[in-house]
């Protein structure tokens, strides 16, 4: 049974909403979590039906795990965590062959030079600017490093991102994985919470006296609301606010657009499929201007699975066309392993974060000049009667489940 007269409405049952609901319960506050979709977890979603193997459509790692609030929660549930960094067999394909030890050392040096340049530029006191303007250029590996750190990790090209926000939200190891998937973990953490599914909030009335959420479910009033839906949904007008949000809040929403990282996962049972060991990671070098390589992870936990990652502008170009996305991933595999290996891959499933109206992207980035937008969006309104939470509001762990979780707890503490 859900509370009929809750203290707080939590809108969205992703990581931020689940964390907020748990924190509210710890404070002795009642809440109802209104989730527009048919499941909990938001962008942390693990499913097994499409390929017969657990596959994380969204969040896949507990990044910077020693500071990640989900790490101790997973361990408390008895879930085994593996350090993917320690298990990875890192491979790099460049100029028609797999890189040798000298190539890999040169690439590692280029990565180090990249981050030295980014951190130095972010600390130089100059006005914010696009992150690519601070990145090294001209070296044989510079374009590959920039593509990897931008489109493939941050889901947007460096030219679209604030240098200061990019530097402030850079993550470190360890990066932990679990067989149950991050989505499986988050679903476990939502058990027992007062969640109402298929409850899309069309309009939220808010002010000093409280809030009222309206939708096909009717109306629900509370003393305060915590809104955790993505900036992509907010920017598209997926939920109306009455009165309209302050200009500063609206500006922050639009300054934190959603990037896109699409995953293309293949069954890889056939012995002729690419011969990669468990936990291997594979990158292909940028070969020419406009080249946008994918990257791959192989056989997590020994399962016959090959997962391709397609980020940034290329992901948006392929959004809505799963057949084209799968064909592009097979083409990448054929380039590195040959056409027979690509043809040996089995059925595929392709994530759909970009076209899903409940998300409209994978995770946020700050546009150049908007390095303060996360703090602005996370600032409570109406003396805490209206709070925003989610990865987009966290100035340190943005774009991660850790940032979403931390923000949900902070919002729960801010409501009166």
> Residues 264-292: pLDDT tens digits?
999 999 999 998 999 999 999 999 999 99
Name which of 372, 377, 373, 383 is nearest 414 in CA terms: 383
Q: What is the number of other CB atoms lying within 10 angstroms of the CB of residue 375?
A: 12
Domain locations in the chain as residue ranges: 8-47+70-81+178-255+364-414, 82-176+261-350
**What number is the average pLDDT over the span 221-249?**
98
**What number is the average pLDDT over the span 172-201?**
97
Structure tokens at 355: 């076209």
pLDDT at 3: 81
pLDDT at 306: 98
**What number is the average pLDDT over the span 27-36?**
98
The Cα 297–Cα 283 span in angstroms is 9
> Which tens digit of pLDDT belongs to each residue from 149-170?
999 999 999 999 999 999 999 9
Instruction: Indicate if the alpha-carbon torsion angle 381, 212, 231, 405 is positive or negative.
Output: positive
Percent with pLDDT over 90 in the chain? 99
- pLDDT level of residue 305 (50, 70, 90 thresholds): very high
Q: What is the DSSP secondary structure assignment for residue 69, as one 8-state letter?
A: T
Average pLDDT, the chain: 97
pTM, two decimals, is 0.97
**What number is the average pLDDT over the span 229-241?**
98
pLDDT at 40: 98
Length of the chain: 416
Q: What is the DSSP secondary structure assignment for residue 152, as one 8-state letter?
A: I
User: Which residue bears the tokens 């067999």?
Assistant: 89
The Cα 82–Cα 296 span in angstroms is 19
The Cα 197–Cα 33 span in angstroms is 8
The Cα 269–Cα 316 span in angstroms is 29
> Which tens digit of pLDDT belongs to each residue from 316-371?
999 999 999 999 999 999 999 999 999 999 999 999 999 999 999 999 999 999 99
Cβ-contact 135, 111 below 8 angstroms: no
> Which tens digit of pLDDT belongs to each residue from 103-131?
999 999 999 999 999 999 999 999 999 99
Residue 216 confidence (pLDDT) above 80:
yes
Residue 132 confidence (pLDDT) above 90:
yes
Residue 1 confidence (pLDDT) above 90:
no
The Cα 376–Cα 371 span in angstroms is 10
Residue 2 confidence (pLDDT) above 90:
no
Q: Which residues contact 277 (CB under 8 A, 6 or more apart)?
A: 89, 298, 299
pLDDT at 42: 98
The Cα 295–Cα 289 span in angstroms is 18
- Indicate the fold that domain 8-47+70-81+178-255+364-414 takes in CATH: FAD/NAD(P)-binding domain (3.50.50)
The Cα 355–Cα 324 span in angstroms is 15
The Cα 285–Cα 146 span in angstroms is 11
- pLDDT level of residue 4 (50, 70, 90 thresholds): confident
**What number is the average pLDDT over the span 187-198?**
97
User: Does residue 222 sit in helix, strand or coil?
Assistant: strand
Cβ-contact 83, 175 below 8 angstroms: yes
CATH number, domain 82-176+261-350: 3.90.660.10
**What number is the average pLDDT over the span 31-41?**
98
């Amino acid at each position: 049974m859900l509370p009929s007269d809750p203290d707080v409405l939590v809108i969205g049952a992703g990581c931020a909403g689940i964390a907020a609901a748990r924190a509210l319960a710890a404070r002795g506050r009642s809440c109802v979590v209104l989730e527009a979709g048919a499941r909990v977890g938001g962008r942390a979603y693990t499913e097994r039906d499409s390929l017969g193997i657990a596959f994380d459509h969204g969040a896949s790692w507990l990044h910077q795990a020693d500071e990640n609030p989900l790490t101790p929660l997973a361990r408390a549930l008895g879930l085994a965590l593996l350090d993917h960094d320690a298990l990875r067999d890192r491979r790099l394909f460049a100029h028609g062959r797999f890189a040798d030890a000298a190539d890999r050392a040169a690439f590692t040096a280029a990565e180090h030079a990249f981050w030295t340049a980014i951190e130095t530029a972010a600390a130089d006191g100059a006005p914010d600017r696009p992150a690519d303007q601070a990145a090294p250029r001209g070296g044989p590996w510079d374009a590959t490093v920039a593509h990897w750190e931008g489109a493939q990790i941050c889901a947007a090209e460096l030219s679209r991102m604030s240098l200061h926000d990019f530097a402030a939200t850079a993550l470190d190891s360890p990066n932990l994985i679990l067989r149950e998937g991050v989505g499986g973990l988050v679903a476990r953490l939502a058990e027992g919470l007062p969640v109402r599914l298929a409850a899309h909030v069309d309009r939220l009335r808010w002010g000093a006296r409280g809030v009222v959420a309206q939708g096909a479910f009717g109306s629900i009033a509370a003393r305060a609301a915590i809104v955790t839906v993505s900036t992509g949904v907010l920017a598209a007008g997926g939920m109306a606010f009455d009165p309209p949000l302050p200009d500063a809040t609206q500006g922050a929403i639009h300054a934190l657009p959603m990037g896109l990282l699409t995953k293309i996962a293949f069954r890889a049972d056939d012995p002729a499929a690419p011969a990669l060991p468990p936990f291997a990671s594979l990158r292909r070098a940028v070969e020419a201007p406009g080249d946008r390589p994918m990257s791959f992870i192989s056989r997590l936990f020994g399962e016959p699975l090959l997962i391709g990652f397609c980020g940034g502008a290329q992901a948006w170009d392929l959004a809505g066309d799963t057949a084209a996305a799968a064909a592009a991933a097979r083409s990448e595999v054929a380039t590195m392993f040959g056409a027979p290996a690509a043809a040996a891959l089995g059925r595929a499933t392709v994530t759909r974060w970009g076209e899903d109206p409940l998300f409209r992207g994978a995770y946020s980035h700050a546009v150049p000049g908007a390095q303060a937008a996360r703090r602005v969006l996370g600032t409570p309104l109406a003396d805490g009667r209206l709070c925003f939470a989610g990865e987009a509001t966290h100035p340190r762990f943005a774009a991660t489940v850790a940032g979403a979780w931390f923000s949900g707890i902070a919002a729960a503490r801010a409501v009166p």
